Amino acid sequence: MSANVLNAMVALVVFRASSFYLGVVVVGLCGGLEFAQIRRREWQKVAFNSSLDCITCIVAALVFWGIAGNSGTPVAVLIGAAALAGVADLLVNSSVLSLPISITSGQSYRSTVFQVTKFHVSAYPYVFLGLGVGLTYLGLGLFIIPMIIVPVVIARQAFASYLELKAAQENTIETLIRALEAKDKYTAGHAQRVATFSAYIAEEFAFGPSRSERLRYAALMHDIGKLVVPNQLLNKPGRLTEAEFGRVRLHETVSVELLRRIDFLAPVAGDTTTEAATAAVDGSVLVEPAIIHVADAFDAMTSTRSYRKALSQETAFEELRKGSGTQFNSACVDALIGAILRRGEAYGAGHEVDDHEWAVAPPEAGTGSAGLGHLVPEEQGAKP
């Protein structure tokens, strides 16, 4: 994106005097050529990207040339025209590119546009760098070409390094999640859903891409400490003894320590224990644990567990609202409920995706607050 935006802006400046649209079209078409896609013969992607870059360049040219004119324009006007041309490029690119991404990923178009636009904004400063390079080229000629090539090479190399680091991070998370899945497949599915619900809340809070990504990683690993908990305790259908409960609670401390030892997750690790998440209600501490706490509670209530069958989505919403401001962060509760309702999604009884086999069939409601036994009359066998 950085290289494409820079080159497009240079083309707008260089071809401005003659309004040479063909030059802009050629630059746009070349901007969509990705060598990795060509090697994989992904011609549909190449054609789409080249066409989109061509369209955005033309739209940017219409805006830039329409404001700046052909010649004799003050620098201040050129900067303003470039700024508006960059906005037009960003909006067209984001809105069109989000269509295939939304279709193939299954995400809502609104959510996809929001994420893609945040990504494209990082390339926006290159609009002004391209303006400067273009104006310098008009004054110095071919001597400016190295100034065009070097920033492009640096930008591509920096992004390549970022992708390598991101791949290493993903591999780290994937390895740990696979270890968790090998121990308990249910817990692994639960982690993925908590990450999804956490992402919904993050979007409502307008988190930036980096913060949202760290939150997703932390949500995926929030239960990683269960690797030290015996499966017979995790899947025990009845009430836990005090000693057993203490053993299960140990996973919270282990999860926090693991997150703190991973550099790129340390900023959101904080303290993800239940007590810390509850303390986040007053807004005095990191909000990420509170987000994961709400997402975790919602999925726990809308999933079948060894001690209780899944509750309905309406019941889960009501329980979150009851605990809002005390047990749960009220802003996180409102954000999650609002995000799910706006997406028209349904979870809980009758909408479960995972089908697990249990040694003992889970009851409608279990014992204690974890089983939400207070939701059925005592005469049916549940204890409040």
Q: What is the mean pLDDT of residues 183-207?
A: 84
Residue 229 and residue 110 in one domain = no
Residue matched to tokens 């080159």: 7
Same domain, 81 and 225: no
Kindly tell me the burial class for residue 214, based on how many C-beta atoms sit within 10 Å of its own C-beta (0-12, 13-18, 19 or more).
buried
Domain boundary among 129, 161, 193: 161
Residues 257 and 215 in one domain: yes
CATH code where residue 214 lies: 1.10.3210.10
Whether residue 174 is contained in a domain is answered as no
**Would you say residue 374 lies in a domain?**
yes
More confident: 142 or 291: 291
Q: Of the given ranges (98-107, 342-351, 353-362), which has the lowest mean pLDDT?
A: 353-362
- 169 domain-assigned: no
Which of the given ranges, 188-192, 196-200, 219-223, 305-309, has the highest pLDDT on average? Answer: 196-200
Residues of the domain holding 89:
2-161
Residue 329 has pLDDT above 60, yes or no: yes
User: Are 208 and 73 found together in one domain?
Assistant: no
| pLDDT tens-digit readout, 7-61 | 888 889 889 888 888 988 898 888 878 877 888 888 888 899 889 999 999 999 9
Q: Which two tokens stand for residue 305?
A: 């567990």
Q: Give the chain's domain count.
A: 2
Q: Does one domain contain both 243 and 363? A: yes
What's the pLDDT band for 268 if we cut at 50, 70, 90?
A: low
Beta carbons within 8 Å of 298's beta carbon, 6+ residues apart: 197, 316, 320, 336, 347
- Are 267 and 120 in the same domain? no
Separation CA 378–CA 384 (nearest Å): 7
Q: What pLDDT, in 10s, does the model give residues 237-252?
A: 666 777 777 777 777 7
Cα separation, 96 vs 234, whole angstroms: 46
Which residues is 305 bridged to in the sheet?
308
Does residue 250 sit in the same domain as residue 146?
no
Q: Percent of the chain having pLDDT more than 70?
A: 78
Q: What is the pLDDT of residues 119-150, one digit of tens each?
A: 788 888 888 988 888 888 888 877 777 766 77
- Tell me, what's the pLDDT at 234? 66
Q: What is the model's pLDDT at position 298?
A: 94
Q: Indicate the residue among 127, 161, 195 that finishes a domain.
A: 161
Cα–Cα distance for residue pair 314/48, rounded to 1 Å: 43
Task: Identify whether 168 is part of a domain.
Answer: no
Query: CA–CA separation, 214 vs 194, rounded Å?
Result: 14
Q: What would the two tokens of residue 10 be?
A: 């240079």
- Same domain (yes/no): 106, 191: no
Q: What does each C-alpha distance from 69 to 18, 134, 141 come to in angstroms?
A: 10, 15, 21
pLDDT for 148 equals 66
- Could you read off the pLDDT of 314-326 as tens digits, one per residue? 999 999 999 998 8
Of the residues 161, 176, 203, which one is the last residue of a structural domain? Answer: 161
More confident residue, 68 or 370: 68
In a domain, 329, yes or no: yes
Dist. CA 50–CA 28, nearest whole Å: 7
Q: What is the mean pLDDT of the chain?
A: 79
Residue 177 domain flag: no
What pLDDT score was predicted for residue 72? 79
Q: Could you tell me if residue 41 is left (phi over 0), alpha (psi between -120 and 50 degrees) or otherwise beta?
A: left
Contacts 24+ apart (CB under 8 A), 226-233: 226/180, 226/183, 226/184, 226/187, 226/251, 227/179, 227/180, 227/183, 227/251, 227/254, 228/254, 231/183, 231/184
